[in-house]
Amino acid sequence: MGWQVLASAQEAAAPAASEQQPQPPALPVCVIDLRLPGVMSDILSNVLIRGEQRPESEVNAFLEEAKLSHPRGEDLRKAAADHFKIDQKRLEELVEFWGHVNCKHAAIPGYAIPDAVVSAATGERLIPVTVSAFAADVTLHVVLHELGHAVIREFDLMVLGNEETMADAFATHMLTEYFPERAHAVIAALVTSLMIEADEVPRNEWTVRGEHDNDARRAYQIAALAIAADERKYASIAAMVGMSEREIGSALDYGADIHRAWRRTLAPLLMPAGKESTEARVRADDATQAFVDAGEPSLRSTVESAIKRFDWHSQVTVDFVGGDGGAAWNRSKRTIKVNGEYIGRFFAQGVEAEA
């Protein structure tokens, strides 16, 4: 691999064991393996789109197919050279040059600078977010959960129990009450996501500690509140968490109280019918824009519709950014920040759920 070639070239250039010579700087550790078709495909994508200016749609279409039918990275590269009519030797050199672009180690002289290094210089590490209906659905519940924290803080609601449980209830209530056309898909996706997360930990290790309920418990409580909003409409969600008839009957009872409490609590905080708050805004950066604007209705339009319903006293922002981390409400900035890394996790869960 190019990186080893470079390392040995530097070693060769350095006079052996000379005390006058400064030690070469420690070289970054690189684990990239171009023998894997997935890794080769990612590098080829950079070579072809960014290096060779080939149309993105053609490159993506080719790589999607070709990486499945070429189990060796090298064969995939050769097939790409044939398809895009690039000299084999030249493509090999280009792949070598671009080889570290997706790495997170420091830049290596003579090679394309890793994107992570470029954006570290500007302060943001952009991770382009893949468009996915499942991920958009999960993300909508996540944003509404954070909006719950925002509403609790900004309108000084009384926190009469665990705020995390309140925020989940707020999000589920908002969906069933104000976005009934999206609610089923969103709650089903969130419950799926939580159950995948729960299954990553052996059941006897599920925690009962901390502020957040464990993921399996969250999934159950969200399903119970959905059932309480409409027993027939959300029956399949109750089935996802394995609710019995008796548990459904019980959820209809206590869940109705919770929905009523939210209706009464939120009513005085809402804008008059047909009016929108001018103190609410939704922003998406280059990495998240396509994801946020995809679909009809788009994630952006639903989030805007939710946030603009409230009569905020000062500006509140939802920021989608292609960064590392999860989602959180920041009190001093009055901002809900949703990171691309988190959305990427939901994307992977959607793929897993489908399989």
- Considering CB under 5 A, how many residues would be counted as binding Zn ion? 6
Contacts of 230 (CB under 8 A, 6+ apart): 176
- How far apart, in whole angstroms, are the C-alpha atoms of residue 229 and residue 237? 12
Contact window for Zn ion (CB under 5 A) among 26-34, 78-86, 90-98, 288-296: 26-34
Rule CB under 5 A: say whether 337 interacts with Zn ion: no
Please, which residue, 248 or 338, has the CB nearer to Zn ion?
Answer: 338
| Interface of this chain with Zn ion, residues 232 to 251, rule: CB under 5 A | none
Please, which residue, 167 or 222, has the CB nearer to Zn ion?
Answer: 167
| Interface of this chain with Zn ion, residues 74 to 133, rule: CB under 5 A | 100, 103
- How far apart, in whole angstroms, are the C-alpha atoms of residue 151 and residue 326? 19
- How far apart, in whole angstroms, are the C-alpha atoms of residue 3 and residue 31? 10
Q: In what order do the strands lie in the sheet with 335-339?
A: 280-284, 316-321, 335-339, 327-330
Contact window for Zn ion (CB under 5 A) among 45-53, 156-164, 203-211, 307-315: 156-164
- How far apart, in whole angstroms, are the C-alpha atoms of residue 153 and residue 158? 9
Of 2, 32, 101, 327, which one interacts with Zn ion (CB under 5 A)?
32
Please, which residue, 6 or 252, has the CB nearer to Zn ion?
Answer: 6
Of 167, 266, 307, 327, which one interacts with Zn ion (CB under 5 A)?
167
Contact window for Zn ion (CB under 5 A) among 129-137, 152-160, 162-170, 190-198: 162-170
- Alpha-helix runs per DSSP H in 161-272: 163-178, 180-199, 215-229, 235-240, 245-266
Per-residue binding letters, 42-81, with Zn ion (x by CB under 5 A): ----------------------------------------
Contact window for Zn ion (CB under 5 A) among 159-167, 172-180, 189-197, 242-250: 159-167
Please, which residue, 103 or 169, has the CB nearer to Zn ion?
Answer: 103
Angle between helices 133-154 and 180-199 (to 10 degrees): 100
Per DSSP, 268 falls in state G
Distances in whole angstroms, Cα of residue 277 to Cα of each of 1, 49, 154, 280, 320 = 56, 42, 14, 6, 20
Q: Which residues bind Zn ion (CB under 5 A)?
A: 30, 32, 100, 103, 164, 167
